[in-house]
Amino acid sequence: MSHSSADEAAKGAPQQEVVLMKGNEAIAHAAIRYGADGYFGYPITPQSEVLETLEALHPWDTTGMVVLQAESELASINMVYGGAATGKTVMTSSSSPGISLMCEGLSYIAACELPCLVVNVMRGGPGLGTIHPSQADYFQATKGGGHGDYHFIVLAPSTVQEMADFVGLSFDLAFKYRTPAMILADGIVGQMMEKVVLPPFRPRRTPEQIAELCPWAATGNPSRRKPNTITSLELDSAEMEKNNNRFQATYRRIEEAEQRSVSYLTDDAEYLIVAFGSVARICQKAIDDARGRGAKIGLLRPVTLWPFPEKAVAEVASRVKGILVVELNAGQMIEDVKLASRCTVPVHHFGRLGGIIPNPGEIDNELERLFPEAFPSKS
């Protein structure tokens, strides 16, 4: 292609919107652009910018999106429950203790097989804890959180770009499988600023499209002979078991089709780090430093925490001599790594608590302590 024709092609190509913003702000912008019908939330550090950004952007004047600050997290999740029941694209966001308050509502939403998005920007706990970053909600997110046998899809972003991208992906997966989806970010990703390419606008679905795509929705359509009823209550035990078996069948389909992960330098790795979110970025720098000293270390970053990418972990585990799981908690994801690796190699844990973030040097020191044979100068 000549220089002039290349210029002409570039002029005709759609221009990407590249902006500098926080991860929380990216969530808000992406929600509007992906055609969300409603956001219902309550402020809590370190995710308050999601609600604040939505309020500043006034999407009710542009796309018609409803943005409402509820009186509590309990109120917000029940507003999401109601909106999801009508087939609308709805979401909320909060941080660790706020998500705890939402767990009952999440269980109801899962039992009613309703799609929605919940964003959790994790802070340190237990209790009110600290406003500093943590990854200690892993169990709460991946094991259901509330009561009953249920799961929801959990995506763990490590960049501001993924914060934006995962909004659309979460909505798509939630509607595909009729289940809640969660973006589980730590406070670092929520508060850090990076360049992000904003997604193109996706129009909100019309009532006709909702009626076609969500025949289960309670839309109040008078043409229906029997209106849809949305409820999680079933007094007949045999029927409740049928419901549960249907849920479990859906979860097995999700586990088979939606495991996602990213690998870094694992092809020749003799030892493996498994980490998610912002910690994976720190581990990548530690791996680069270790590689500079001759240690063949690789990284596997789970993108879906549920379903956990057990296939990818098992494959790499079959080729390495040891695994180090790095988390901002006392050891939670390590349980899934051990199960996925089938105990074929030693699996160790390194974590910091209370909002303390490890640096690459600390991780390298732990690698040298656990696997001295990996470093030629230490042999």
CATH assignment at residue 173? 3.40.50.970
User: Measured between alpha carbons, how far is 284 from 275 in angstroms, rounded to an integer?
Assistant: 9
Residue 237: inside a domain: no
**Cα Rg of the chain (Å, integer):** 22
Q: How far does CA 274 lie from the centroid of its chain?
A: 17
Q: Kindly state whether residue 256 falls inside one of the protein's structural domains.
A: no
The low-confidence residues of the chain, meaning pLDDT below 70, are 1-15, 221-227, 378-379
Do 93 and 59 meet the contact criterion of CB atoms below 8 Å apart? no
* pLDDT tens per residue across span 178-221: 999 999 999 999 999 999 999 999 999 999 999 999 999 998 76
Strand partners, 300: 263, 274
Q: Is residue 217 part of a domain?
A: no
Q: Which pLDDT does position 6 carry in this prediction?
A: 43
Query: Is residue 105 located within the same domain as residue 38?
Result: yes
10 Å Cβ neighbour count for 258? 18
Q: What is the pTM of this model?
A: 0.93
CA distances from 244 to 220, 233, 240, 308, 326 (A): 27, 12, 6, 21, 34
Identify the burial level of 82 via C-beta atoms within 10 angstroms of its C-beta, where 0-12 means exposed, 13-18 middle and 19 or more buried. Answer: middle
Q: Is 246 a member of any domain?
A: no
Separation of alpha carbons 377 and 170, rounded Å: 46
Count of domains observed in the chain: 2
Shared domain for 92 and 156, answered yes or no, is: yes
Q: What CATH number corresponds to the domain at position 356?
A: 3.40.50.920
Last residue of a domain, one of 191, 208, 225: 208
For 102, the enclosing helix (H) or strand (E) is helix 96-111
**Whole-number Å distance between alpha carbons of 240 and 149:** 12
* Contact indicator for 65, 204 with CB cutoff of 8 Å: yes
Q: What pLDDT, in 10s, does the model give residues 117-147? A: 999 999 999 999 999 999 999 999 998 788 9
